[in-house]
Chain A
Amino acid sequence: MEHVLGDKRSVAILVGPALLVYTLVMLVPIIWSLGYTAFEGNAVTGFSFVGMDNLTQLAGDRKVREALGFTLRYAAVITVGQVLLGYGLALLYVFVLRRYSSVVRTLVFFPIVLPTVAVALLFQQMFAIAPRDGLVNSFLNVFGIESVDWFGSGGTSFLVIAIMDIWRSMGFYGVLLYAGLVDIPEEVLESARVDGTRGWKLVRHIVLPLSLPVLVSAIIFSINGTLKVFDSILALTGGGPGTATTPLTIHMFQTSFAYGQYGYGSSIAFLLTLLCLIVTVFIFRASRRDLTKG
């Protein structure tokens, strides 16, 4: 029977165009970009070969180290926030709201489909101080607290970024993890309840282990997304004040297009790619080990 669906010409016609476009526009540029790391210059001025210079420079660059530090801090904080709050929401949907959760799910989910630029500008206005107070500062004033210059320091800027990104995404992770919780067989929960396991103990000993696979995939997805953060921070703080909230992606963008250093920009992009791969593989392996332990 196999030969009926195994005609080579048909395979080529069906998979060929996609593979061609994908190879030309993504695979070749990935290799090409790796090649750029050995050059200096840009598309306008031309290139010159510098060998390993970019990579050695990368290792000792204070700005890159700061950007890397911010990226890791951001990824850690946002991933923990997104997945924890998302898990809390999922538990709320399954165990408290039950069948009535659909409206709440729908409403809490929607911010994820909104354009990040628009959301960032909205939050910029909400946390504004000058020339006029935004929603948050007005609210603080009502309680007799003085307005805070949220974007004036790296710490508070980071706080606003974290609030915004978690606000945007917790509903998405709620639905993602909800799908995992709904898959837990009702009999397992019922027999645990009969044994007298309830509340937090039920979650800790029954629900959590059984939802671990979907939890791990949520964490991997979250880290992968947060390491690549660009739009929301660029639109909210522009990486500032100074470079206090500049992740690798924005640093790479500025190095490449503001300063025209393609080789160095590609080296930063390469560092980012390595980071994504290492983190993903690391979490995947760690979770596999845990899963086999039970």
Chain B
Amino acid sequence: MTTVELHTTHGRVGGGRQQRRGARRWRQRFKRWPAHLLVTLLLVVVCYPMVWLLLGSFKTQREFLENSVVALPEQWNFDNYVEAWTTGNFSQYFLNSVTAVGPALLVMLLLGTAAGFALEVLVWKGRNAVLLIFLVGIMVPIQMILLPLFTVYFQTGLTGTLWPLIITYTATGLPLTVFLMATFYRAVPREVFEASTIDGAGIVRSFFSIGLPMMRNALFTVGLVQFFFFWNDLLIALTFTNSGSLRTIQVGLLNFSGQYGTTQYGPLFAAISLNIFGMLVIYLVLNQKVQKGLTAGSVKG
């Protein structure tokens, strides 16, 4: 009896309150229409170029010349993509990018994490100095190292391979990786590592068995951010590998635009789409980690 009464009372009062709250919310929403208009405008400005690009990538040359702001393609065909991927050589460029970026990422993460661990967890003289030396690498523009490296790569005959890219990416990625990993290790209590070393594991072994696996999450975030830097790089790739069979996907795209730019729009749009929507998919799947990693990289660097 009491429970029922309580229940009904509660329901009635709750309902009335909800109605009033609903009305207030509607009034608030109405008052905030300038903000909503602003947000809508913002999203249109950000997203419309993508929509235009995607629609364009399915159009035929004739449709391009009868251009229009919003028109959908007459037919959704993938000819442009096939053209870009095969005739435009993007399969080769893609493979080159993977071959250069993959090994560089793995080596950089391993070396950078070990160094970050040694700099933050281990106790030794001169670690501040070493940390400072790595900081120099974040500050100095890449332009400063291009010419000496080109000389070395040229004289050792490496310019005919992808090695210059693998080596340069690994090294240029190290400073930021070391810094970020050191920051992540700062959050781990030293006792964890002290305990494992006392058990007789040795510091190096305890790094590989505990220190490295513990950073799985951080490794993924940092690796993802560096992946964007390496994959999207033009300067280093353009300097060291500007011959046809070694081009990375960005250098390939730049050259493709030079060849096709004003004559064949469809394949060009398809090539740009491949570059943009590939990244977009990765971003949408992992956006929390990307946002966290990229902003951490900028504030701490």
Contacts and interface: CB of A to CB of B under 8 A. Distances in A.
B167 A25 contact: yes
Interface in B125-157: 130, 133-134, 136-137, 139-151, 154-155
A21 B171 contact: yes
A116 B232 contact: yes
9 contacts: A5-B123, A10-B204, A13-B114, A14-B122, A17-B114, A92-B38, A131-B65, A131-B262, A135-B49
Q: Which of A7, A22, A92, A107: most chain B Cβ within 10 A?
A: A22
Interface in B252-301: 253-254, 257, 261-262, 265, 268-269, 272, 275-276, 279-280, 282-284, 287, 290-291, 294-295, 298-299, 301
B163 to A, nearest CB: 12
B13 interface: no
B94 interface: no
B79 to A, nearest CB: 19
Interface of B: 32, 35, 38-39, 42-43, 45-47, 49, 52-53, 56, 64-65, 67-69, 111-112, 114-115, 117-119, 121-124, 130, 133-134, 136-137, 139-151, 154-155, 167-168, 170-172, 174-175, 178, 190, 193-194, 197-198, 202-204, 207, 228, 231-235, 238-239, 249-250, 253-254, 257, 261-262, 265, 268-269, 272, 275-276, 279-280, 282-284, 287, 290-291, 294-295, 298-299, 301
A121 B257 contact: yes
A159 interface: no
A14 B232 contact: no
A26 interface: yes
Q: Looking at A114, A116, A175, which has the most chain B CB atoms within 10 Å of its CB?
A: A114
Interface residues of A, number: 97
B114 A1 contact: no
A152 interface: no
A33 interface: yes
B3 to A, nearest CB: 35
A280 B148 CA distance: 25
A114 B144 contact: no
B272 A22 contact: no
B203 A14 contact: yes
A108 B140 CA distance: 30
For A14, A21, A134, the residue with the greatest tally of chain B CB atoms inside 10 Å of its CB is: A14
Contacts of B148: 28-29, 32-33, 36
B46 A107 contact: yes
A126 B194 contact: no
Given A4-B197, A228-B143, 17 more contacts: A10-B204, A17-B111, A19-B133, A26-B145, A36-B147, A43-B155, A122-B49, A124-B261, A131-B262, A167-B45, A221-B301, A228-B142, A231-B250, A234-B254, A262-B147, A268-B143, A273-B140
Contact of B112 (A18, A112, A167): A18
A104 B43 contact: yes
Contact of A11 (B122, B141, B150, B275): B122
B268 A1 contact: no
B115 A19 contact: yes
A171 interface: yes
A217 interface: yes
Interface residues of A: mostly helix, strand, loop or mixed?
Answer: helix
A93 to B, nearest CB: 10
A196 to B, nearest CB: 19
A167 B290 contact: no
Contacts of B45: 167
Given A104-B43, A214-B299, A30 B145 contact: yes
A96 interface: yes
A170 to B, nearest CB: 9
Contacts of A194: none
A269 B143 contact: yes
A59 interface: no
Nearest to A135: B52
Contacts of A8: 124
A158 interface: no
B294 A270 contact: no
